Each structure stands twice: as structure tokens, then as C-alpha cells.
Amino acid sequence: MTIGIAWSRALDAAARFIPDLPACNIVQLAGSLGGYGPGLIPRMMAHLGEHPDIHTYPISAPLVVDEPATARDLMRQSEIADALSMADELDLAVVAIGAWKEGESTVWDKVSQRDRDTGTAAGAVAEISGRLVGSDGTAVHTDLDDRTIGATLDQLARATEIIAVARGAGRLDAVLAAIKANLVTVLVLDSSLALALLEHLKSHEANE
């Protein structure tokens, strides 16, 4: 299998629980954002890469940079280019869903107010590895795309299975958008978000 793992605070924390794996390819799907702990995913990639039957494809770069030219230069580096190319062949992707609003997305917290306002004005409600999604499930393109180092939404959507992780009732609209975008086959969520999703489904059924 080819397994892709995106960076997020939740997935970075979960990296410590990765069990021994059979022969496979492990692809890092996006760069990381600094300031959120020691960075377990890069260390996990390095550890797994020591196994003779596991091939790792890390992305040793930030998730978002200041200039499009910087992103292009980084993505031309062979190690990063190989990882992004492998994202075309995913059997399994593991991603996190953020809401495009304050406190619900690590990318929102890191980018400028202009980036936030531009994404909101364009209709973004969800963020997955720096890629923005509208409420109807379509990709929202802003210049943030040109400064993001990671797999595209089209690459993620082609994965055979996508495990998406989200927490908090404030991410309900983001989760619904990700589902419409075909970016979820398995959803891992906490109780508050589960209850909000159940209430939404009940309301939707009642209105039909």
C-alpha cells in the first residue's frame, strides 16, 4: 500500500501510536507548521525509513511560505517532488479537517489577515492541509494555494480510502464540506462534533 499522512496537531500527536507496519510506502502529504510541539511526524518518518521494507517520502519544508517563488523552488527539490508525485497513487490518506475561522485551523492561525479575509470572501469554510474548500464541496482557490507545499485536493480525492480527523462542534460545516468534496470515507471525531452532526442529520431529514 501507499499511505499518505498529512500534518496537523492531532495527527502529529497520534504519530507516537503508529504500530509496526508491513511493507508499504509512507508519504508525507504536506509540510508542517512550526510552533506546535516537537514535530513527531518527521521523526516517525525517519524511524519508519530505517525499516528495509518501508519506503518513506518525507516533506522537509513548511506547509505555507511567504512567496510563491519560494514554494516553487522547494517543490522542485527531488525529495519533496518525489513525495508529491507519490500522492497520485494513494491507497490510504489520513488527513485532518479544519474550519476556516479563528481557533479552528492551524493554517488560519499562521497566515496573514489578508489571507484569512480572501479565503472567507471566496467562500471557504474548510481547510485541509492548507487547501480551502467551500460549503458546496468545491475547491476555493486563492493565492494561498501558490504558497502551500503539499498534495492538492484532487490528489487526496483520488485516494482509495480517506480517514479524516476532526474535533469540536465548530467544525461541523467544515466536515460537511469535506464530505461533499469526496474527501472522507472514514470520519474520526469527538463527542461534541458527533452530536452536532447527528442534530444536523435529524434536521435535514425532518425538512425533507
Cα–Cα distance measured from residue 56 to residue 49, given in angstroms and rounded to the nearest whole number: 5
Q: Are 153 and 176 in contact (CB under 8 A)?
A: no
CB atoms within 10 A of CB 149: 23
Cα–chain center distance at 79: 19
Cα–Cα distance measured from residue 61 to residue 75, given in angstroms and rounded to the nearest whole number: 9
Q: What is the predicted pLDDT for the residue at 45? A: 76
- Domain range list for the chain: 2-97+148-206
Cα–Cα distance measured from residue 67 to residue 63, given in angstroms and rounded to the nearest whole number: 12
Per-residue pLDDT of the chain (208 residues; tens, 9 = 90+): 999 998 777 777 777 777 778 899 999 999 887 654 456 677 777 777 788 888 989 898 999 999 999 999 999 999 999 999 999 999 999 999 999 999 999 899 999 999 999 999 999 999 999 999 999 999 999 999 999 999 999 999 999 999 999 999 999 999 999 999 999 999 999 999 999 999 999 988 777 6
Cα–Cα distance measured from residue 126 to residue 120, given in angstroms and rounded to the nearest whole number: 10
Q: What is the predicted pLDDT for the residue at 13? A: 76
Q: What is the predicted pLDDT for the residue at 39? A: 63
Q: What is the predicted pLDDT for the residue at 163? A: 96
Q: What is the predicted pLDDT for the residue at 46? A: 77
Three-state SS sequence of the chain: CEEEECCCHHHHHHHHHCCCCCCEEEEECECECCCCCCCHHHHHHHHHCCCCCEEEECCCCECECCCHHHHHHHHHCHHHHHHHHHHHHCCEEEEECEECCCCCCHHHHHCCHHHHHHHHHCCEEEEECCEEEECCCCEECCCCHHHECECCHHHHHCCCEEEEEECCHHHHHHHHHHHHCCCCCEEEECHHHHHHHHHHHHHHHHCC
Q: What is the predicted pLDDT for the residue at 40? A: 67
Q: What is the predicted pLDDT for the residue at 34? A: 64
Q: Are 193 and 166 in contact (CB under 8 A)?
A: yes
Q: What is the CA radius of gyration of the chain?
A: 17
CATH class of the region 2-97+148-206 = alpha beta
Q: What is the predicted pLDDT for the residue at 8? A: 78
Tell whether pTM > 0.85: yes
